[in-house]
Amino acid sequence: MTRPDAQFEATLKSIEDIDALLLLSFGGPEGVDEVRPFLENVTAGRGIPPERLDEVGKHYYHFGGKSPLNDLNKEIIANIEAELASRGIDLPVFFGNRNWKPFANDTASEMAKAGVRTAAVFATSAWGGYSGCRQYGEDIQAMREHLQSQGLPLIDFLKIRQFFDHPMFIEEQVSVIEDAFRHWGLSPKEAQDQGVRLVFSAHSIPVIANERAGTPEDGSLYSLQIEQASKLVAEKLGFENYDVVWQSASGNGRVPWLEPDIVDHAEQLEAQGVEKMVVAAIGFISDHMEVVWDLDNELQTAIAPTNLEVVRAATVGHTDTFASMVVDLIEESIGSKKPQHLGSVPSKGCTINGAPCEVSCCEPMKRGRAQ
């Protein structure tokens, strides 16, 4: 498929033709007073009941109102900067969020004033779907509109593709799961032989949102990518006893979300006699609030009275290998490095200036399918 701005694409011959990298993420509050306005930003227009915001707010208050996400993203940025330096690449890295400070529009202004005219964008999601991909494109469009409204020079943004099946992403998932098995002093083969269950977890979304992930021809791209990545990791481990489950569902209760829920699934496994389980939060690159609350708190509380022991594998975003992957993806996006894929499910999202991959790709729930 031809990219939406061939003239811009033609100017990119090497990473030196890019002025900066923008790490574009979700955002999170830094204190108690920021929790409610942050959650209202996140859920604006989604019909989430106030009592659900109250419930989610308690998760943040439990940790002093501070999300771990911003600090984790700053760690990713530091690792990317170190990787760039190790390759002799002089590329400043900026940080902007969709839902909280530093807001993406403010970061775009900072970039424009610093002389940035061409930027690569790494969105902190490996997956397709509206929230995981297309909405970041809309954030890019909003940044350009903001620059224009402020009379600032426009920036051309090249968004990096989804990376769910990149070899480095898969290899790091394998590594952290092997570390989790070592909690019991087991190799992957020994863990399988002893009946340890491996469970991959990702953020649940409404079933209709999953159906609209990708194009109609792709068919439920989000869950297909999660399942593909999980299968690739399990195969690398030589592990057959694995499941794919979902977590962190919200909404008004009238809209079905992807199932099974991880807590329900863990309770079912325990009832079947499973005594050891490793959870790999493959859907998250960092320890988001959903990870530390839903897995480290809610899940552990649910299984505490049972005979099931659950160990969570680390997330992979903080690793040097992850940073190396990001730089490789930049070079891949401008054609100076060959794309690396381990799977057959489509990997999309490499777009210019926020344009969707296709009109009908990853449409939000509130809109009808483009014909």
Does the annotation list 250 as a binding residue? no
332 is in an annotated binding site: no
- Give residue 1's pLDDT: 35
User: Would residue 295 count as lying in a domain?
Assistant: yes
For residue 4, what pLDDT is reported? 43
Residue 9, pLDDT score: 62
- pLDDT tens per residue across span 216-225: 999 899 999 9
On whether both 293 and 325 belong to a single domain, the answer is no
Range of the domain at 114: 6-163+319-333
Give the residue with greater pLDDT, 163 vs 1.
163
Instruction: Read off the pLDDT of residues 102-124 as tens digits, 9 standing for 90 and up.
Output: 999 999 999 999 999 999 999 99
Asked if residue 290 belongs to a known ligand binding site, the reply is: yes
CATH at 57: 3.40.50.1400
- Looking at the fold, whether 96 and 188 belong to one and the same domain comes out as no
What lies within 8 Å, CB to CB, of 73 at 6+ separation is 23, 25, 95, 124, 286
**Confidence at residue 13, expressed as pLDDT on a 0 to 100 scale:** 77
Query: Are 39 and 155 within one domain?
Result: yes
The verdict on whether residue 67 carries a ligand-binding annotation is yes
Q: Are 144 and 157 in contact (CB under 8 A)?
A: yes
* pTM of the entire predicted model: 0.94
Residue 84 within a domain: yes
Q: 290 and 171 in one domain?
A: yes
Instruction: Report which of 25, 329, 363 is spatially closest to residue 163, judged by C-alpha positions.
Output: 329
Q: Let me know whether 291 and 194 are in one domain.
A: yes
> Is the same domain home to 85 and 189?
no
Distance CA 228, CA 92 (A): 34
Indicate whether 203 and 94 sit together in one domain: no
> Does 354 fall in a domain?
no
Residues 49 and 146 in one domain: yes
What are 225-265's pLDDT values in tens digits?
999 999 999 999 999 999 999 999 987 778 999 999 999 99
Q: Return mean pLDDT, the chain.
A: 94
Same domain assignment for residues 188 and 328: no
- Whether residue 205 sits in one domain with residue 142: no
Residues 130 and 144 placed together within one structural domain of the fold: yes
| Nearest-10 Cα torsion for 309, 313, 315, 319 | 150
234 belongs to a structural domain: yes
DSSP 325: H
Q: Is pLDDT above 50 for 275? A: yes
Residues 10 and 117 placed together within one structural domain of the fold: yes
The tally of domains found in the chain comes to: 2
The mean pLDDT value for 125-131 works out to 98
